Amino acid sequence: MRNIAIALFFVTMALACSNNKQDTAAENKPAETAPSMQNESHFKPEMVVNTTDFACGMPVSAGISDTCHYEDKAYGFCSAECKAEFQKEPSKYLAAKQ
């Protein structure tokens, strides 16, 4: 009887481990209905007038995650933080550019 109990214990553990592996694989698989999150921005460098992010100096061709309009022109930024920094004193950044 003891051997049967031990065998059942090992079978249960083996099944539990194999189920855990399947659950982990399912967790790592992106949801089919979720939008793709592959750093694909809908902003393109051609849409903005600057070639580099004013706050950090990164080229906008590397990726634009946010934009803002100032004096009828669109400016691109790599992050919301860089955009916020620019918006504190846009004239300072534009004067430094020239």
67 with 24, same domain?
A: no
Domain count, the chain: 2
**77 occurs within a structural domain:** yes
Mean pLDDT of 2-8: 71
For residue 97, CA distances in Å to 40, 54, 75, 90, 91 come to 28, 8, 13, 11, 10
Structural domain for 61, as ranges? 45-97
Residues 49 and 90 reside in one and the same domain: yes
Over residues 12-33, mean pLDDT: 56
Examine residue 37 and state whether it is found in any structural domain, yes or no: no
Instruction: Place 28 in a pLDDT band, splitting at 50, 70 and 90.
Output: low
Q: Indicate if the pLDDT at residue 30 is higher than 50.
A: yes
Cα gap 23→21, rounded to integer Å: 5
Are 49 and 81 in a shared domain?
A: yes
Band of residue 36 on the pLDDT scale cut at 50, 70, 90:
very low
- pLDDT of amino acid 79: 93
Which residue, 74, 61, 63, 45, is CA-closest to 86?
Answer: 74
- Do 58 and 90 belong together in one domain? yes
Same domain, 63 and 88: yes
Q: Where are the beta strands (DSSP E) in the chain?
A: 66-70, 73-77
Alpha carbon distance 74, 49 (integer Å): 6
